[in-house]
Structure 1
Amino acid sequence: MTFTLTHAEEYSFGNGVQVADSPLIVGGYASSIMDLNKNNRMVSVDDVALLAYGEYDHMDFLAELETVDLYKKEFSNRRDENSSGAIHVERLYGDYFFGHNERLRIGKFNSDIGFWNQIPINVLRDTTSSPRLVSDFFPKLTTGIQYESRQSIGAVRRISVTLQNNRDLDIGFNNFDTYRHYAATCDIIDQEALWRFSGGYFQYEPWREAYYLSGAMKTEQKRWTFLLESILRRDSGEGRVAYDVYAQGVWHMRPAHDLIFRSEIEKTPLTYAHDGSAIVGYTYRPLNNIALKSEYEAHQNTLLNRWLFSFSVLF
């Protein structure tokens, strides 16, 4: 099947542009961040990415190429300024749908754990910062195969199984240098909330092994969205269990204006260092694809306290 890329349809801001008469849509996103803490002040163009996606018949696909830390300037004693032109593969996968309720995904994709990890793009998230749960406890990205079924079985509305038996597609561009990752997830819906339970095993660095169990809940009201996620992790050879739990409420004060509250408690894997934090943030969205965010993050260790400001846009 061949497409002739001779022209593009009219561009719609935030929705990308369809190329010729093909199913291919091209877009992107960018964000800039100001990070202010007691010892350092930093401004960066955090990430700039190209997105290409589309669907045809029973298949769809997505490719996401990202440049991280395109530009960074620190206003500390050293006053460092640097940039990086390295391009990484954030996501690259194809889906095949068996009817309306079953899907097979092959490639590199967000690990199907919890809710926050499914929203990797700054402009779509509630806050600039992410809970440490998504960076410290399991691979954020998986290179492998995922099967998903949305056939209802009692209160269960969705199940997925993920298998990775190889290294990452873009080695080093993940929070863990992953060699294996096996996971399963199920969604349960009641009248008030969506519940998500997951469990998995992964091998990393290359001989360390870890197991995890997570539970998450999300509920949405007219003026509020509430999110709760928790996780336990045990590494092979370790006698102790690491954990993290966070709760977040988003108050939709007015259209385009959100006030966010988040609290998190963590015992870090391997080091078992304990930290508690609280965040108060404000997000303004003049358009659905533009976000201006500000937040204050307070920690038990006051040296980690900081202000974060960001501007992000989806093209």
Structure 2
Amino acid sequence: MSCPECFRGTVHTRTQPTGGFQNLGGIRTYIAGGSDPTRSKSTIIYLPDAFSLRLVNNMILADKYAELTGCRVLIPDIVFNNGLNPDIFPYMEMTLTPIPKFSVRSIAQKVLATLYILPQVLPFVLFGHPKRVYPKLLQFTRAMRQEIPAGGKLGVSGFCWGGWGSTMLCTETTIDGGSERLIDAQFNGHPSYLNESADMIRRAIEEFRVPYSSAVAGDDWEFNAQVANNIEANIRERLSEGSGDGNEDYKYEFKVYKGCKHGFCVRAKEDEINMEGYNAALLQAVNWFNKYLN
């Protein structure tokens, strides 16, 4: 499920997106700037957080992926209601920050801030689960797979809201009833909705053998270090008792970023700890995709 931190963050304004929009597979899609077909024939589908393309951070990060991997990077506009408006950030901060000293004014500010964000956040919580748009996402992903030239591969990245979809896609084949896996490499950051879907992660790694990488916020209401460590330990135990294929046939990693909060891969506060985590997670994803897509 979504947690309060899913709706909290910072708008990054130090740079601007360099890509553009196009209709792909019937879906408005951001095509990141910086890709280089002479370096890579592969494509990465970027599944954003709850703010989707309304938050410039997602396009900026997609541009960085394209620039550093050469891959074509796509953000389909499929989040419920086109995503939340980032203008709720300061109101979420006001709502969630403890009051240092009681006063009628501070209580009133919290109440007003809550009344402002509820009409936006409540519908998303009720109707915004990624499973509601998953059939559309699967159709889009399979269509993009068909467009990849010979020698190219398909990766997927997912953040917060997008982490469920990026993982679910790893359990699919290129066509219904087929045998070829749809996804060749996956990366997610501070994923939501996965605590109750650990078996989906296991299937992605064990059954489909998708190289699976996750950047975990040390300070997270949901998918935190304990959850990630338990999942990884369970997978290692299962593989050690398996058919003898050997753990080297299964590629996965769960990296915990101590001190970082949920959202740090995309909406990081521009302080030292969270920006260090932001840049390290960017490098983690880029290295993963370069290794398994290029």
What TM-score do the two structures reach when normalised by structure 1? 0.30
- Relative CO higher for 1 or 2, CA cutoff 8 Å, sep ≥ 6? 2
- More helix as a share of residues: 2
What TM-score do the two structures reach when normalised by structure 2? 0.31
- More strand as a share of residues: 1
